[in-house]
Structure 1
């Protein structure tokens, strides 16, 4: 299985979201999807994107864990009103800012767009996206129809070949 693939620098990765004010001194609650969640502060500068798609770059965020979220201070944000105006903005970084995955691990974004074929050569289309169910991750292949394939290696995911651009699965085409 060839797992080396150069990162796609132009691809932006969603790492978290600004949730709202924490106190009155301009601190903000952040939902982070990094592991560990505090690692989000390592990947700066951030690109903050609001619901209208307007983006701005931010560097110098600092924070710590507090309950199930992070509490952060952002440069230039001094009061609760400024924080509330930022509520809901998403935190993106370029894919190139992330460290290389460990052997046998993948960033979901690196799998998106790869062809999906089963062990008999049936073409299932391409990887649209992945999602987590709690029990396991699920690969969504879109081609003639959408297929949801548990991302369980080696039971269903037989190989990921970035060089060839193919994920080989052991999955019934009728399922």
Structure 2
């Protein structure tokens, strides 16, 4: 087990060929970036795979991995989620950030009151949504990750400004 922040970078899609190569669907802009991150980890922080020779395919990579020698071993790893420590990723440019850096930020309203904390960044097919766990407890709620709903980000200070949209059926005050 580990307390470090892990980032999902891909998953094993199955075997490639009969010599034990593994197909990996990557979630990175450059699929070959996975070869530079060092050993890939499981969600619990345990060792998953060590990539060797790799080549890019339309869906990610085909790679030889230290832990796999046969097609059957590769197929047994199908759907294994692959993670790296957040520290392994390159530092973003100024005014850029990783969505994972938003998780844990306090969501404050215009008066500075803490509404909750960002539990996750979700995308259900349209745009990114921040899942907010309320400070007072209760069910989570979603905030569109747009300039209107989140006009200020203070990642280094641990908070963001959240402007909750008017609920459907509510009237705006006169």
Q: CA RMSD in A?
A: 2.4
1:5-154 matches, cutoff 5 A? 10-48=4-42, 55-56=46-47, 58-143=49-134, 144=136, 145-152=139-146, 154=147
The whole-number CA distance in structure 1 between the counterparts of 2:22 and 2:129 is: 32
Structure 1, unpaired ranges of 5+: 1-8
TM-score, normalisation: structure 2: 0.80
CA contact (8 A) 1:122 1:173 kept: no
Deviation track 1:24-57 (CA, whole Å, cap 9, x = no partner) reads 11111111111123322221121245xxx69325
Runs of 5+ unmatched residues, structure 2: 169-174
State the TM-score, normalized to the length of structure 1: 0.79
Distance in 2, Cα, partners of 1:12 & 1:128: 15
Structure 2 counterpart of 1:3: none
User: Cα distance 1:48–1:147, how it changes in 2: closer, same or farther (>3 A)?
Assistant: closer
Report the number of matched residues.
Answer: 163
Q: For residues 16 and 141 of structure 1, what CA distance do their matches in structure 2 show?
A: 25
> Aligned residue for 1:168?
161
